[in-house]
Structures are given as structure tokens and as C-alpha cells.
Amino acid sequence: MRLVLLGPPGAGKGTQAADLCRRFGVPHISTGDMLRESVKAGTEVGKKAQSYMEAGKLVPDAVMIGVIEERFSRGDGSRGFVLDGFPRTVGQAEALESLLARLGLPIQRVISFSASDETIVERIAGRRTCPACQTPYHARFQPPRKAGVCDRDGEELAQRPDDREEKVRERLRAYRDQTAPLVPYYEKRGLLRGVSAEASPDEVFRAVEKVLTALA
């Protein structure tokens, strides 16, 4: 399975990607998670990305294309993959298309999640993330077993700095201006399927599975 997940911030891409990767045994390639790790580790990429991420803006294509090329050079993409948060611009989509053509691993399906602004705001406001493994939780919708603590590694959960209200507004703007044009881009290539992200995580997962059955 070679899949791209598209959707506004907080729609639930990371939550669904993690479940899909567990179910299908393929790597979860989240550029947001990779960038947060690079910022934490103080790498060159992290230094270039930090100010954009803090402002809720997209990191420039030249940086991101380098990140994704490096990620695919590991070779585990031949088992399949779920791309979560990449591509986010038409330039990134074109670069991905030629990279995957070179590797003989073309995208099979692009799922576009839709959610109302009200849903997005509610999900992001209640999100708490594990700073170590980056698993997202939600105080109301996906609470950890013990309040404030990651189920997997016992780390204290925290709010992402870009989850504050004014940053979320900027991220939504970036989505509408720079990422939403990917919907017609992939529609034209016959790869796009829309899935409503409004239901519970399990129901959304079942809707995604239905869309993927045609690939089995």
C-alpha cells in the first residue's frame, strides 16, 4: 500500500496514519514528526525549519524535498508507506512524483480528509502530544489511560507550541492557500478519494479501509 493522506491541521491524519501502518505493517512517514525531531536534535534541517514551524508557516519546498529524498533513501518504502503531511504544495507533489517514478513506487491512492473549522479547533485545542514518541491524545476524544501521561512510554504529555490559537489560524491559511490545490492535482490523476473525518477515529478508519479495498 502506497498512500498519501491529505487534510487540514488537526483533521486526524496522524491518528489514522498510525492505525493504518499498524494494520498494514508499512512505515509511517510523517514530515511533521520528522521536523519536530530535527528541531529537538538541533540538526541543520531543524535549524532551517524551526522559525517557519513556530510561525505556523510551511517550511520551504527545497528543505522538504531534501527531507523526503533522504527518508526514501533508507529503502523501507519498497514495503509500502503512508505519507502523512507530505506533499503540501504542488512543487512537493511534482518532486514526489518524479522521485517515486525513479524508485518504481508510484502512489496508489490519495485520501483527502475533510472536517469543519469547528471540529478542527476542538480537536487541536484538546490535543496533547507525547514529546518522546509524538503519539497524539485528546482530553475528551482519545484520552490516555492515566491523565497527562503517554500510554506507551510514561512521558508527560504537552501541548505543541504551534497548537496555540493564533498559530492554528496561520496553519489553516497555509492549508487553504498552498495545500488545498493538491485536491484537484490528484483528482486529475484519478488517485483522490474523499473521506469525512467528522466521525469517531474507528469509524473514520473503517471508511478509509473501504476506500482501500479496491487496492487489495
Question: Catalytic pick from 123, 128, 167, 171?
Answer: 171
Q: Which residues pair with 86 in a beta bridge?
A: none
Residue 204 C-alpha from the chain's centroid: 15
33 closest CA partner among 44, 46, 21: 46
Q: Give 80 or 144: the residue with its C-beta nearer to ligand AP5.
A: 144
CB of 75 to ligand AP5, least distance (A): 21
Q: Using CA atoms in the order 91, 58, 67, 18, what is the torsion angle rounded to 10 degrees?
A: -110
CB of 114 to ligand AP5, least distance (A): 12
Q: Give 7 or 26: the residue with its C-beta nearer to ligand AP5.
A: 7
Q: Give 199 or 216: the residue with its C-beta nearer to ligand AP5.
A: 199
* Measured CA angle at 126 (ends 83, 17), to 5 deg: 15
Task: Give CA–CA dist 30/188, Å, rounded.
Answer: 25
* Cis amide leading into 8 (omega within 30): no
Question: Catalytic pick from 88, 109, 128, 167?
Answer: 88
Residues in contact with ligand AP5 by the rule CB under 6 A:
7, 9-15, 31-32, 35, 52-53, 56-59, 64, 85-86, 88, 92, 123, 126-127, 136-138, 141-142, 162, 171, 197, 200-201, 204
Question: Catalytic pick from 13, 36, 128, 167?
Answer: 13
CB of 160 to ligand AP5, least distance (A): 7
Q: Considering all CA atoms of the chain, what is the largest pairwise distance in Å, rounded to the nearest integer?
A: 46
Task: Give the CA radius of gyration of the chain.
Answer: 16
* 13 is an active site residue: yes
* 173 is an active site residue: no
CB of 77 to ligand AP5, least distance (A): 16
Q: Give 86 or 186: the residue with its C-beta nearer to ligand AP5.
A: 86
* 140 is an active site residue: no
- In sign, the C-alpha dihedral spanning 204, 22, 6, 216 is negative
